[in-house]
Amino acid sequence: MRHEFDVHMTVSALYDYNMHHTYTSSAGIVGTAFGAMLLVIFAANRQPAFLVGGLIVILYSPIALYLNSRKQVKLNPMFRSPLHYVMDDEGVTVSQGEQEMTVTWDKMLKAVSTNQSLLLYTSKNIAWVFPKADLGEKKYDIIEMISTHMPPAKVKIKQ
């Protein structure tokens, strides 16, 4: 089995990845809990400093992630043209122009889905982002390919 598709990185797709990656990490969870705790303290004490602190802690990350995503898509030459992916029984090959890289299935760390994308992690902090809009009807074939070649414990994809 072999599937080919192109990915056009957009601000929305990169922001979706960054939000998922941040808010599923322990730092993202702890930061949000701390911000929520500050808001609860404000509700109990009505001291504006807790309201301001809570809002800053909770709103800083999403705003910063959006601005960073927008900057990356605008400035990173890799995102100016589509990335071409080929999935086969050996692994996944990504190419752009003359550059090409293949990662075998046994090297993939995990696969997850968000509302907008499929994420295929090639390392702890790096994932290939496959926007569902770019995949179209191939999305189901891609999910099947990933699920077939990776252990079930590493696949957290909801259709």
Domain tally, the chain = 2
CATH number reported for the structural domain that contains residue 90 in this entry: 2.30.29.30
For the entire predicted model, the pTM comes to 0.86
Quote the pLDDT of residue 26: 85
Q: What is the reported pLDDT for 125?
A: 87
Whether residues 87 and 151 fall in one domain: yes
Q: Are residues 34 and 97 in the same domain?
A: no
C-alpha distance from residue 112 to each of 4, 19, 25 (Å): 19, 13, 14
The low-confidence residues of the chain, meaning pLDDT below 70, are 159
pLDDT (0 to 100) of residue 159: 65
Domain identity same for 65 and 35 = yes
Do 29 and 85 reside in the same domain of the chain?
no
CA nearest neighbour of 91 among 114, 117, 111 = 111
What is the domain extent for residue 148?
3-8+81-156
